[in-house]
Amino acid sequence: MAESLSDYKAYLNPSTISKLNSLELKARMVVEGFMVGLHKSPYHGFSVEFSQHRPYMQGDDLKKVDWKVFGKTERYFIKQYEEETNLKSYIILDTSRSMDFKSGDNITKLNYSIILAAALTYLMIKQQDAVGLALYSEKINKLLPPKASRTYLQEILKQLSSVTASDKTNTSLSLSEVAEKIKRRGLVIIISDFFDDIDSVIKSLKSFSYNKNEVIVFQILDPLERSFSFGKDAIFKDMETLEEMTTQPFQIQKAYKEAMMEFTAKIKRECLNASFDYNLIDTSTPFDTALYTYIQKRTRLY
């Protein structure tokens, strides 16, 4: 694997990684490329040890001692089980039709988000953290509770592999439903374009604070949604309502970019006020940007 990862940055490029067949392979290559880069960067001091054991402590049940490890090391280690995982995390993914947009050679926002969610899941379970998954559009379409077993990775990847963009967005309602179901403090990761009523979305985002959850927000946009660099004439179709509008983009580009900047700035401001990590990422951005954010957050928690 070392040889194939000689140019690790290639495995963090969305266009390159999207050409691989299986989602598990995509997730693994993104994580392994990220790990190579991590050790080549200023972030190399972060703790990303992948261990299934912890040292024996007084009072631990002797039945849980791994005697095979003792035979090799003459040191007592306890096998870690699901209930002993370090962190419970929830990945909440927007699968509405607005996420199915792409421009040029970029991948869709949904495809980018699925690979990101898969890579985060792969990394978390490798770290013996429990991770759950919520998929939503107008409502919660799938909710898997957090678990840390390696077989559970396959279940989450199976669900992510079957995702197709559908229905309109109701981010506010969906986030509120998930927040009500989280009874124990954990890490909540939300991946969406947040194309919805922003005031309602912000109110729902803040509901995760009630149980003192740590929150990472990834707002995923296509580069063209930020630049609005269309041609002279264009027909715009709402991907959720299918309404169409014909216009000359250069006439509204300035107003659009100002509105978009105000939209993203408001989300960022409200997230920071709530002590949430906010990340605006477009689909041309290498995946290590998002994974660094997760590692930084996890490091601060422990």
In the prediction, which pLDDT does 242 show?
A: 64
Burial of 265 by CB count in 10 Å (0-12 exposed, 13-18 middle, 19+ buried)? exposed
In the prediction, which pLDDT does 194 show?
A: 96
Q: 212-226, pLDDT tens digit by residue? A: 899 999 999 999 888
In the prediction, which pLDDT does 234 show?
A: 58
Burial of 121 by CB count in 10 Å (0-12 exposed, 13-18 middle, 19+ buried)? buried
Name residues of the chain where pLDDT drops below 50: 1-3, 5, 42-51, 81-85
Domains with residue ranges and CATH for the chain: 53-80 (no CATH), 84-301 (3.40.50.410)
Decide if 147 contacts 82 (C-beta within 8 A). yes
- CA 128 to CA 36: how far, in whole Å? 20
Decide if 165 contacts 97 (C-beta within 8 A). yes
In the prediction, which pLDDT does 28 show?
A: 93
Chain-centre distance of CA 120, in angstroms?
Answer: 6
- CA 123 to CA 93: how far, in whole Å? 17
In the prediction, which pLDDT does 91 show?
A: 98
Q: How much of the chain is helix, strand and coil, in % rounded to 5?
A: 50, 20, 35
